[in-house]
Amino acid sequence: MLKRIMSKDSQMRAAINQKLIEMGERERLKELLRAKLVECGWKDQLKAHCKDVIREKGLEHVTVEDLVTEVTPKGRALVPDSVKKELLQRIRAFLAQHATL
Amino acid sequence: MKMEDMPLSGPDNTRLEALAHDIYSELVEDACLGLCFEVHRAVKQGYFFLDETDQESMKEFEIVDQPGVDIFGQVYNQWKNKECECPNCKRLIAASRFAPHLEKCLGMGRNSSRIANRRLASSNNMSKSESDQEDNDDLNDNDWSYGAEKKTKKRKSDKSQNSPRRSKSLKHKNGEIGSGVGAESYKYNYNTGISYETLGPDEVRSLLTTQCGVISEHTKKMCTRPTLPDADAVETDSFDIPDAQPLMSRLQWEDSDISPTDSASSKASTNHSDSRKPKKKKKPSLPLNSGGGGSGSGSLAGGGGSSSQSNISISTKKKRPKLSAPPISSIYDDLN
């Protein structure tokens, strides 16, 4: 029975994700998030952190994986609460409208 | 807490919340990845550290964060309280008012000639001495003063009479009579103390046949509104242009600015009139390039609506006595 619930859940998720993409809402949310992050200075902060990482690893030898593993956790933590709240609000609104339960 | 005790929407809600959070996390991760790729590309292409290469200039242009100073380190209202001595009138003027004051004081700005003319005109009328320059400067500097506001009503009529544009267009005409009338109309407007008794009968006749001639009680100025279009249309016959009909029909549309682009005297009005040109012009170049037409176009192009009308009336008026009857009747025939 758990499996069935799980698969129902994942089905719903897949359906919702598909709807998000098809309606262009995902793109809009992405752009909104990017704009807000630049505005609040998150991008500059993270870029400064990247500089440190690069200086540490050496300019010539830094790889994408290095950057990703170093930068992503910090990036996730640095997102300001207001931005997070606003995005969640928009997502919930979308779900409330389009999630068939 | 058992699942059954929760309200029916409970599990759905939590599921939805979880889903929302997941979607959010994906979006944030997308943003982070995007940044990583950007940075990595910049590193590999060699432009990531470009803004940090020059240590000296970096220190020089560092952001300043002190009170009373902007981020460049400059004091922004440094000159607010300073005063400058005007080279002309030797007064001490506040820095922010210095440029407008100089404009008026030296008589070189756009408005200063207009104001000077207006002063001249009204000094004949009103006995109060407005020739005191200092007072006028203050009046004119402060756009909201009562004196300045009182004058604004007359400004429009003044402008059409006094603007250099109008006098230039008058000069463009072939006949010197045209400019003569223009000068005369200036005179009539200014010498408002002169009443009709002082003018000779010929002058009065020529004046009243072209213009309205009513003298206002308030301003003691003579109205220069041109006489009715029908009268003007008759006069247009006097134009010795090969093809007068389009020009005349155009003239009858009083409110249109018929100024063609060849008229050098009015550049501003051509913008206005060009927009209407495609609608009304039939033969744009023919009548206008000929000699008489050139002068006609020069007069037509003089300024905006009212002044163009008065120009038309003046120019046509002055040609009438010169020419003979046959052209007039021929053009009437064309009309019919």
DSSP per residue, B168-228: HHHHHSSSHHHHHHHHHHHHHHH-TT--TTTS-HHHHHHHHHHB--PBPTTT-PBP-PBPP
Q: Which residue has the tokens 């470009």?
A: B50
Q: Is residue B328 part of a domain?
A: no
Identity of the residue in A37, A67, A84 whose CB atom sits nearest the CB atom of B39: A67
Alpha-carbon separation of residue B244 from B32, B235, B261, B276 (angstroms): 76, 12, 19, 20
Whole-number pLDDT of residue A93: 93
**Cβ of residue B32 closer than 8 Å to a chain A Cβ:** yes
Q: What is the pLDDT of residue B226?
A: 76
Angstroms from B274 CA to nearest CA on chain A = 45
Rounded to the nearest angstrom, the minimum Cα separation between A23 and chain B is 15
Q: Do B36 and A67 touch (CB under 8 A)?
A: yes
Angle between helix A64-78 and helix A42-57 axes, rounded to 10 deg = 150
Q: What whole-number percentage of chain A has pLDDT above 90? A: 70
d(CA A25, CA B216): 70
- Return the beta strands (E) in chain B as ranges: 83-85, 92-94
Chain A residues whose beta carbon lies within 8 Å of the beta carbon of residue B37 = 64
Give the global pTM: 0.41
What radius of gyration do chain A's Cα atoms show? 18
Q: Which of residues 234-273 of B touch A (CB under 8 A)?
A: none
Predicted confidence at residue A33, as pLDDT, reads 96
Cross-chain CB nearest to B24 (options A71, A87, A99): A87
Side chain identity at B217, as an amino acid letter? E
CA distance B70 to chain A (A): 21
Sign of the C-alpha dihedral computed for residues A31, A35, A38 and A41 taken in this order: negative
Nearest-Cα distance to chain A for B40, in Å, is 6
Closest CA to B114 of B144, B154, B146: B154
Residue B2 burial class via C-beta count within 10 angstroms: exposed 0-12, middle 13-18, buried 19 and up? exposed
Q: What pLDDT is recorded for position B312?
A: 45
Angstrom distance (rounded) from CA B244 to CA B293? 9
- Could you report the predicted ipTM of this complex, rounded to two decimals? 0.92
Domain count along chain B: 1
Q: Is B6 an interface residue toward A (CB < 8 Å)?
A: no
What percentage of residues in chain A have a pLDDT greater than 70?
92
Tens digits of pLDDT across chain B (336 residues): 444 443 446 777 888 899 999 999 999 999 999 999 999 999 999 998 887 777 887 888 888 888 888 888 888 777 777 888 888 888 888 888 888 888 888 887 777 777 778 888 888 887 554 445 555 555 555 555 454 445 545 555 555 555 455 544 444 544 444 444 444 444 444 444 556 777 788 888 888 888 887 887 887 777 888 776 554 444 444 445 555 555 555 555 544 444 444 444 444 444 444 444 444 444 444 444 444 444 444 444 444 444 444 444 444 444 444 444 554 555 555 555
When CB atoms are compared, the residue of B16, B24, B37 closest to A99 is: B16
Higher pLDDT, A73 or B79: A73
The pLDDT value recorded for residue B334 is 58
| Residue ranges making up the domain that contains B52 | 14-62
Is B53 part of a structural domain of the chain? Answer: yes
* B211 found inside a domain: no
CB contacts, 8 Å: B28 with chain A: 33, 75-76, 79
- Which residues in chain A touch residue B29, judged by CB atoms under 8 angstroms apart? 72, 76
Contacts of B7 in chain A (CB under 8 A): none
Q: What is the pLDDT of residue B81?
A: 73
Give domain status of residue B305, yes or no.
Answer: no
Q: Reduce the DSSP state of residue B39 to 3 states and report it.
A: helix
Please give the pLDDT value at position B183: 45
The mean-pLDDT minimum among A7-21, A67-81, B36-50, B302-316 falls in B302-316
For residues B20 and B14, what is the distance between their CA atoms, to the nearest angstrom?
Answer: 10
Q: Would B21 be classed as within a structural domain?
A: yes
Contacts of B25 in chain A (CB under 8 A): 76
Which of A16, A69, A72 is the mutation pick for testing B, counting most B CBs within 10 A?
A: A72
Q: What pLDDT, on a 0 to 100 scale, did the predictor assign at position B182?
A: 43
Nearest CB to A88 within list B24, B36, B40: B24
- The answer to whether A84 contacts B24, with C-beta atoms less than 8 Å apart, is yes
Residues of chain B positioned with their CB less than 8 A from the CB of A34: 31, 34
pLDDT tens figures, A34-59: 999 999 999 999 999 999 999 888 88
Q: Is residue B20 part of a domain?
A: yes
Using CB atoms, pick whichever of B27, B37, B48 lies closest to residue A30. B27
Phi, psi (deg, nearest 5) at residue B211: -125, 170
Residue B47 lies in a domain: yes
Nearest-angstrom CA–CA distance, B32 and B26:
10
CA distance A55 to B45: 16
Q: Does the distance separating the beta carbons of A64 and B32 come in below 8 Å?
A: no
For testing the chain A interface, which of B36, B45, B50, B51 should be mutated: the one with the most A CBs within 10 Å?
B36
